[in-house]
Amino acid sequence: MLKIKEGFKGERLISLPLFTVEKFKKDELGKELYLTNIGYFPNAEYHYCRREAANSADYILIYCVKGEGWLEYNGKKLKVAEDQFFIIPQGMSHAYGSSKGKPWSIYWIHFNGKKAGYFSKGFDIPQDMPYNSQSRFKNKIDLFEEIFSTLQSESSTEQMSYATSVFFHFLGIIKCSNSGKKESEAIKESSIIDTSLKFMRENLHKHLSLRNMAEHVNLSVSYFSRIFIAQIGTSPSKYLAQLRMEKACHYLEETEMKVNQISPLVGFDDPLYFSRLFTNYLKLSPTQYRENRNRTLFFRTTTQTAHHTMAI
C-alpha cells in the first residue's frame, strides 16, 4: 500500500528555524509553551507517519477537519472521525494515517514546554472538538489560520509570542471544555436531543437543513449527528422525514385537506415531490392512504352497527 508522509496538493507547512525556537525558549512565555512546526494537509490520501519513542521529542496535536483517519498508540488502533482531535505525548511510539477511501484533511502542531504536558493530559485518544457559540473563535480552524498568518511572514520573538498566545487560547478552550465533561455529558446530551426534537416538531412546515438543526443547539454538524444517532438510533435527517410523514398521515386521516394543501404544512413546496416521498415511505400514495383509511373506518363502523343490531 502506498504511504506518504507529506507532499499533498495544497498543503501548507511552517517549520520554525532551530535558532528562533531556542531563542524563544528563553523567553518567559516560551519557557511555558512553544511551537516548532505547524501544518495543514488537505485531502491527504495515503498519508502515513510512524515514529519511535526516541524520535518523538514534541507533543503533537492533530485536528481532523474532514474525512477520517486512524491513530495507533499505546497498543491500540483507534478511528479518528471528522471534527475530532488528539494529542500524542512526547517520548511515545505512535503511528497515524488517513483512512482508505475517505482521506482526512488535518491541521497539526508540534509543541513543547513546561505546560505542554498539563494541556495534553487526557487527550491521547480521539475526541470531539468542543464548540462554544460564545467564543470569538467559533470555528477552531480560525485559530490555526491565525497562527499560520502570524508565522508565515516572519518568526521574530514578538510573532512567536503572539502565535503561542493564540495556541494557549486554543488549548485553554479544549482543556476547559473537558473538565467535568464525563460526569455531565449524558445529561447534557439528552437535554440537547430533547431540545432538537422539540425544534423539529415545531418547525415541520419549514425547510430545515442539518446545519439549521445543529446551530439551534450550538453544536457542530458532525458532533450533533453523532450524539443524535447515539440517542435516537437514526440520523437527524431521517428522523425529521419520519416526523413529516407522520404529520402528513394525521392530516390525511383527520382533515379533508387536499394533498397540495398538506404538502407545505409538512415542509414541501412541491406536492408531486411530497407525494413521491410519501409513497416511498408508506408504500401507498397520499390518496391511497386516505382511501384505505376511510375504507377501514367504514368497515369498523358498519361492523359495530351490525353487532349492535343483532344484540337488540
153 and 241, same domain (yes or no):
no
For residue 229, is it within any domain? yes
Q: How many Cβ atoms sit within 10 Å of the Cβ of residue 142?
A: 14
Tell the residue number behind the cell numbers 491513530, with chain if given: 71
43 and 139, same domain (yes or no):
yes
pLDDT, residue 50, reads 93
For residue 100, is it within any domain? yes
135 and 197, same domain (yes or no):
no
21 and 120, same domain (yes or no):
yes
Q: Could you tell me which of 234, 230, 214 has the C-alpha nearest to residue 222? A: 214
For residue 310, is it within any domain? no
For residue 127, is it within any domain? yes
pLDDT, residue 154, reads 73
CATH number of the domain enclosing 113: 2.60.120.280
Q: Helix, strand or coil for residue 214?
A: helix
pTM: 0.59
For residue 306, is it within any domain? no
pLDDT, residue 153, reads 76
- The model's pLDDT over 91-118, given as tens digits with 9 standing for 90+, comes to 999 999 999 889 999 999 999 999 999 9
State the pLDDT confidence band at 298, using cuts at 50, 70 and 90: very low
Contact 27, 108 (CB under 8 A): no
CATH number of the domain enclosing 243: 1.10.10.60
Of 95-104, 121-130, 173-182, 293-302, the range with the lowest mean pLDDT is 293-302
DSSP code at position 53:
G
148 and 247, same domain (yes or no):
no
Of 180 and 298, the structure prediction assigns the larger pLDDT to: 180
299-304 long-range Cβ contacts below 8 angstroms, 24+ apart? none
pLDDT, residue 5, reads 60
189 and 161, same domain (yes or no):
no
Q: Is the pLDDT of residue 225 over 60?
A: yes
21 and 163, same domain (yes or no):
yes
Distances (CA, A) of 246 to 249, 258, 269, 278: 5, 16, 17, 10
172 and 189, same domain (yes or no):
no
Tell the residue number behind the cell numbers 499533498, with chain if given: 8
- The model's pLDDT over 45-88, given as tens digits with 9 standing for 90+, comes to 999 999 998 888 999 999 999 999 999 988 888 999 998 999 99
Q: Tell me the average pLDDT across 289-293.
A: 84
Q: Which domain holds residue 227?
A: 185-297
Q: State percent of the chain over pLDDT 70.
A: 86
State the pLDDT confidence band at 131, using cuts at 50, 70 and 90: low
pLDDT, residue 187, reads 65
**Domain tally for the chain?**
2
Helices (H), 233-282: 236-254, 259-265, 271-282
User: How many Å is the Cα radius of gyration of the chain?
Assistant: 28
